[in-house]
Amino acid sequence: MSTPVGSAANGRRHGRGAALALQGLGHSLPYLYAAIAIAIVWQAVVVLTEAHSSVLPAPLQVAQTFGQLVANGELFVHIWASLRRVLIAWLLSALVAIPLGMALGWSRRLEKLVDPFIELFRPISPLAWIPLAILWFGIGESGKIFIVFIGTFFPILLSTVAGVKCIDPLYIHAGQVYGCKSSYSLFRRVILPASLPSIVVGLRISFGTGWAAIIAAELVAARSGLGYLIANGMEILRADTVLVGMVAIGVLGVLFDSVFRYLHKRYAWS
């Protein structure tokens, strides 16, 4: 038999759970409205133009193809192939860009030395590296990871540099006064926490950039992945397969961005 205190605690937990569920539903509704509006306009265009299914299939046909690819597991294979490549390259970028960004943000002399190289390479689109990636690495995994690395590196680096530069000098002074005697202690207790919000923003932006870059890379040279699914659908005149790949890219992009927004709200200013 539960005690009144236990019942009250359970009630509070259920109340918080219900509140979170309602909040999640409220955040999802705009996307649901957008999907419905897109489907209505899409169907209207199909009816008005009398487009052939190989050019512009109806939403119902695309939904059926989507269900078939989910049922046989093919869609998940392609999703995992693309996601694995992006995660590997994104983590490698973070491992290099965050420490380098911290150093550049902290040392003006080092920034003056390295910044010209950054500004020369940064405007070059990751897509421009695809031919060289194929020449250097072939059509294997290394070339795709290299392209995504290029696409994700600079957003993380620049956000980290900006985060360190924007730290209020009073925080540095306060850290030194309250016991941060070594550079490592000052970095761990002051610089890293203060620059974390900007770093999280850079990680969020770079993941989206990497997600776009991997799709482009897979369109050119791949045997798996969502980009390959789209390119293969184009080659065999299956517009429904192409649209399934596009829908998967859009939905996954929204989900990933939602995760990063949650982490930003949950940890960046805690």
Q: Which CATH number belongs to the domain containing residue 216 in this structure?
A: 1.10.3720.10
Residues 90 and 219 placed together within one structural domain of the fold: yes
Least confident interval from 16-25, 37-46, 143-152: 16-25
In this predicted model, what pLDDT tens digit does every residue of 217-248 receive, in sequence order? 887 777 888 888 988 888 888 888 999 999 99
To 10 degrees, what angle do helices 192-220 and 226-235 make? 20
| 115, 244: one domain | yes
Q: Where are the alpha helices (DSSP H) in 138-191?
A: 141-165, 169-177, 183-186
Does pLDDT of 135 surpass 90?
no
Domain check: are 34 and 75 in the same one? no
Gap between the Cα atoms of 137 and 134, Å rounded: 5
Residue 42 domain boundaries: 1-50
224: left (phi over 0), alpha (psi -120 to 50) or beta: beta
Q: Are residues 35 and 152 in the same domain?
A: no
Provide the pLDDT for residue 52. 81
Instruction: Say if residue 205 is in the same domain as residue 234.
Output: yes
pTM of the model: 0.78
The half-sphere exposure of 234 on its side-chain side, counting CA atoms within 13 A, is 10
Furthest-apart CA atoms within the chain: distance in Å: 74
Q: How far apart are CA 105 and CA 159, in angstroms?
A: 10
Q: Are residues 42 and 161 in the same domain?
A: no
78/210 Cα distance (integer angstroms):
16
Q: What is the pLDDT of residue 46?
A: 85
pLDDT at 188: 66
Average pLDDT over residues 133-148: 87
Domain count for the chain: 2
CA-closest candidate to residue 86, choices 269, 209, 170 = 209
Whether 26 and 61 share a structural domain = no
26 and 110 in a single domain? The answer is no
Same-domain status, 142 and 184: yes
For Cα atoms 128, 129, 130, give the angle at the middle one, nearest 5 degrees: 95
Q: Do residue 225 and residue 249 come from a single domain?
A: yes
- pLDDT tens readout for residues 58-67: 889 889 999 9
Residues 86 and 135 reside in one and the same domain: yes
